[in-house]
Structure 1
Amino acid sequence: MFREERDESQFTWSMLGDIEAGRPNLGPMVHVAVYRLMQYTLRDILIRDFGVEKADRIFSEAGKKAGAEYCDNVVTDKSDLSSFFADIQRTMKELGIGIFRVESADSEKGSFVVTVAEDLDCSGIPACSEEVCIYDEGFIAGLLLAYTGKDFHVKEVDCWGSGGRVCRFTVIPK
């Protein structure tokens, strides 16, 4: 499952296991600090060993895979784009990922500006003058890829790390 070499992602939602059976006392939730501990130390080592560009690509691709799996396994209302976004907003808040909002949409171009407030990845971190939510860029791209079948370029333009109070992403079709 995790030890064989491969050229393609093998991840499936079923790999998450039966959390209810495995954590009958602690349940499905974990403190944000623990999540960030895993993410930031992993990113730190990836940057050390492979450089920023490759680490960013890895985080973005992982986020994209996660977004597609999330769309397929968590988002239930895919009847139209408005319902799809509303379900993302509902589920992300319920799971403590963040407060998702579509700030603007251009239906002719198929582009959007979306925000995530209280973002799991960065809200409350010390200012570092950079956007840090590379994983989230991939996650949003993966959500939209799974829903539309089309690739999107997602770029964070505001972040807690760069002094913002929400993470803001531009989303344009590739």
Structure 2
Amino acid sequence: MRTIRPAWLVVATIVLAVAGWTTTELTSRASLALPVLPLSSLATMGLIAVVCLVLGLKVRRWRDGHRDRVLDPLVAARTLVLAQACAYAGAVLLGWHLGILVDQLPTIPLRGDLGPIWDIVAMAGGGIVMMVVGLVVERFCKLPPDDSDSTSVPREKPEGHGEEEFA
């Protein structure tokens, strides 16, 4: 499985920032509420990050030599997938709320209540936490290079296997 490319996280953040900004422009023109997730979403984001971190710590503990129990490879693979999903979800949430924040920055001096601005900042912070946890747990799931088998010779492909001859 490939590791996350930080450039893709940046691209996702930028694309969603543009989408968040555009959506906020359209909703404010229609006199609708800001498209911000409620603060209760932070609990869900935190739960996902904690579960991902706990599973990642189990994989790291096994990887570092504390092998009192057998680690199911499927659990390790699912932990890696969860870590990558957590990082991408964090990038999406960060980008969306940064786009909304950029749109709302000119209105801060005019606002009497800064509650929605703090909600936006909190959700963007939650996105950052999810990205960091995802990237860290992905590192936990990476096996160190195995140098003990340096004398082995790579296997060659059997002749005629999978090759077709054309006349």
TM-score normalised by structure 2 residue count = 0.28
Structure having the larger proportion of residues in strand: 1
Structure having the larger proportion of residues in helix: 2
